[in-house]
Amino acid sequence: MPDVTTTAAAPNPHLAAYAARGLKGRILSGVQPTGNLHLGNYLGAIRNFARLQDDYECLYCVVDLHAITQPQDPAQLAAQTREIAAAFLAAGIDAKKQIIFAQSLVPAHAQLAWVFNCVARVGWMNRMTQFKEKAGKDREAASLGLYAYPALMAADILIYKATHVPVGEDQKQHLELTRDIAIKFNNDFKAPDFFPITEPLIFGAATRVMSLRDGTKKMSKSDPSEFSRINLTDDADAIAGKIRRAKTDPHPMPDTAADAEKRPDADNLLGIYAALADQEKDAVIAAFAGKQFSEFKGALTEIAVAKLGPIGGEMQRLMKDPGHVDAVLRDGGERARAMAEPILAEVYRTVGFLRP
Ligand code: TYM
């Protein structure tokens, strides 16, 4: 990044108020309602959302404004918004204690994003690798929203002055930009410590789950091959079939971490097993060293079905009860608005907008 630097170890004055309440800080994170949720979303993000809720005050957002940076079918967008909310609930997030909501229910996200569009520099945005990936070859035809997306993501976080953001590894660059926007805003408006310098929370054995068909490519909602990913709503047969067809190599299972690292398909499956079993990857490598892939795949199928089956089942049940899911989102939206509005008012005063 250009004229600002991020200092990871800077003390965060925003944390004191949370510490007094026995908490480590405030979390915001989001998931796009653009296609089926997969194992990467779960292990890299949603499972951690649930695990963090005892230590942090949490807001978990279905980011529908982000979704429309690329074309969406309106009916499907609405249905998928419910599906993500159902996944949050099925993963064990307590909607009474924490906040589950849809981004478009809180206008302050978009309002702060405009201010951030004027703080962020074009040079910063030009470095965003995800824009380059998503825009593809014909960058001229990408929406302006897709280009500005990371400034809206910064607004999602900072409209609540969130101190921590759990995400998968692919969002790291966007979080660095969020820090740079916060630092520049605080400097430009001589408002030291106005926005916190947010810490990413990237942890677990599967911070970057790769495609089952190609261990060098990220598992993604947009991969045309259904066999590249395990969806959270897949049943036991589908999970078994996808693991059976997962790409491997002709050698026996790796026997050291160094060996696994050279074999991306095997390494990915080992990481998935470790995350699902809550074990260190080294322990999993030791347990299956030198065995045949078929034996390992049997064990992986068993644990995947045991861990994901109940979540998929609960999601299916919740999706048959849209009234309940909508009530959760409505209540979460109201509570999120109540938190965001005073912070937006402070921003507007700080920027110099007249409040007559
Ligand atoms: P999205 O919707 O692409 O993904 C949601 C979460 O899942 C993680 N993830 C993965 N983790 C491990 N392996 C994978 N293969 C994998 N694929 C996805 C993502 O890192 C993410 O944590 N820009 C965000 C959404 C967003 C957001 C925010 C996140 C909007 N505003 C504010 C945090 C805070 C996105 O597109 O995630």
The yes-or-no answer on residue 24 being catalytic is no
> Ligand 1: which atom is nearest the Cα of residue 168?
20
Phi, psi for residue 21 in degrees, rounded to 5: -100, 10
CA of 50 to the centre of ligand 1 (A): 15
Please tell me if the CB atom of residue 48 comes closer than 6 angstroms to any atom of ligand 1.
no
* pLDDT in the model for residue 5: 38
* pLDDT in the model for residue 2: 39
Total-model pTM: 0.96
| Strands in the chain per DSSP E | 25-31, 56-62, 99-102, 164-166, 199-201
The yes-or-no answer on residue 221 being catalytic is yes
Please tell me if the CB atom of residue 166 comes closer than 6 angstroms to any atom of ligand 1.
no
Please tell me if the CB atom of residue 208 comes closer than 6 angstroms to any atom of ligand 1.
yes
Q: In what order do the strands lie in the sheet with 25-31?
A: 99-102, 56-62, 25-31, 164-166, 199-201
Please tell me if the CB atom of residue 218 comes closer than 6 angstroms to any atom of ligand 1.
yes
Residue environment code for 176-196, b if the CB has 16+ CB neighbours within 10 A, otherwise e: bbbbbbbbbbbeeeeeeebbb
Catalytic residue among 24, 172, 217, 221: 221
CATH number of 4-208+322-351: 3.40.50.620
Q: Which CATH architecture has domain 226-318?
A: Orthogonal Bundle (1.10)
The yes-or-no answer on residue 134 being catalytic is yes
Please tell me if the CB atom of residue 201 comes closer than 6 angstroms to any atom of ligand 1.
no
CA of 300 to the centre of ligand 1 (A): 24
Length of the chain: 356
CA of 212 to the centre of ligand 1 (A): 19
Strand partners, 156: none
Spell out the per-residue pLDDT of the chain, length 356, in tens: 333 434 455 567 899 999 999 999 999 999 999 988 999 999 999 999 999 999 999 999 999 999 999 999 999 999 999 999 999 999 999 999 999 999 999 999 999 999 999 999 999 999 999 999 999 999 999 999 999 999 999 999 999 999 999 999 999 999 999 999 999 999 999 999 999 999 999 998 899 999 999 999 999 998 999 999 999 999 999 999 999 999 999 999 999 999 999 999 999 999 999 999 999 999 999 999 999 999 999 999 999 999 999 999 999 999 999 999 999 999 999 999 999 999 999 999 999 999 89
The answer to whether 100 touches 58, Cβ cutoff 8 Å, is no
* pLDDT in the model for residue 4: 40
Catalytic residue among 161, 184, 218, 242: 218
Q: In the chain, what are the domain boundaries?
A: 4-208+322-351, 226-318
* pLDDT in the model for residue 11: 63
CA of 44 to the centre of ligand 1 (A): 8
Please tell me if the CB atom of residue 50 comes closer than 6 angstroms to any atom of ligand 1.
no
Residue located nearest, by CA, to atom 33 of ligand 1 = 29
* pLDDT in the model for residue 10: 56
Residue located nearest, by CA, to atom 9 of ligand 1 = 41
CA dist 229 and 262 (Å) reads 22
Residue located nearest, by CA, to atom 20 of ligand 1 = 168
